Amino acid sequence: MNDYIEARLDLKPFPGSDATDLLAALLGDEGFESFVPDEAGLTAYCPVGLYDEAAVRVALEDFPFDCEVTMTTTVVEGRDWNEEWEKNYFQPIVIGNRCVVHSSFHHDVPEAQYDIVIDPKMAFGTGHHATTSLILDQLLDMPLEGKSVIDMGTGTAILAILAALRGAKPVTGIEIDPFAHANAIENVALNGHPEIRLILGDASALEDVAPAEVFIANINRNVITGDIAAYASRLVAGGTMLLSGFYVEDIPVVEAAASVVGLERCSFTERDRWTCLKLRKE
């Protein structure tokens, strides 16, 4: 039921972490959800039902680094993904000395103003990736008390949960992947915020959601630019939009699409070439 394709990509010679970041971005466009980089390449995971080897091979043709990319795949049978992440990948993190993100299995967790429990099941959004932590930083600095929030592509719901912890309401998360959606439901319950509305669907689901004062989308450049009109339609005038899942070099492309639908850039932050673009609706 929750079987995954495990793809191992070895890079020779290894160009550095920028290469694995770009690989993750390319694979993210093809349905991969989780990425574990190392000093030789990248291991990535995709639900069996979403895996298209031909499409992945085509995507890898756009890989610009001067190295050989060798890919091997295996099927990983469904298992207790919480336990797998706990044992191998997911360690507690602290964001801005104000927010700690950890699993329900972790012990000796650092104290912070906002404590978020996430038990990820191979879903993107533990806070370790630069794009997630960039948006977490923004949410920690924004006044959210009483403000409505939409989190598009909510994943594990970590961003929606922080918004709710900081007093935002109502908070709505939308997720296209059924397993991530189910995981998000579990996570909002773990954090005592079952009032967060979670919808299974794509951008078309926004038609049933009232416009919000803060709109978040941490997905990828192509999805964001393709759906930006739908996003803008669900942001009130004067509202704030936070976009991530793409590189600093992609800002002009995203900004051009955003300007057509009445969104203007306020600022951006960056980490390891990834960026969070802050926009305002005119």
Domains of the chain (ranges plus CATH)?
A: 4-78 (3.30.70.100), 129-281 (3.40.50.150)
Residue 114, φ and ψ in degrees, nearest 5: -120, 120
Mean pLDDT of 45-50: 89
Residue 80, φ and ψ in degrees, nearest 5: -80, 95
Q: Judge contact between 115 and 92, C-beta under 8 A.
A: no
What pLDDT, on a 0 to 100 scale, did the predictor assign at position 123?
A: 47
Query: What is the identity of the amino acid at 260?
Result: V
Q: Judge contact between 148 and 212, C-beta under 8 A.
A: yes
**pTM for this model (two decimals):** 0.73
pLDDT band at 23 (very low <50, low <70, confident <90, very high): confident
pLDDT at 82 over 50: yes
pLDDT at 269 over 80: yes
Please give the residue that has the higher pLDDT: either 230 or 80: 230
What pLDDT, on a 0 to 100 scale, did the predictor assign at position 3?
A: 86
pLDDT at 135 over 80: yes
What pLDDT, on a 0 to 100 scale, did the predictor assign at position 83?
A: 63
pLDDT at 89 over 60: no
Mean pLDDT of 134-143: 95
Handedness of CA 128, 92, 137, 140 (dihedral sign): positive
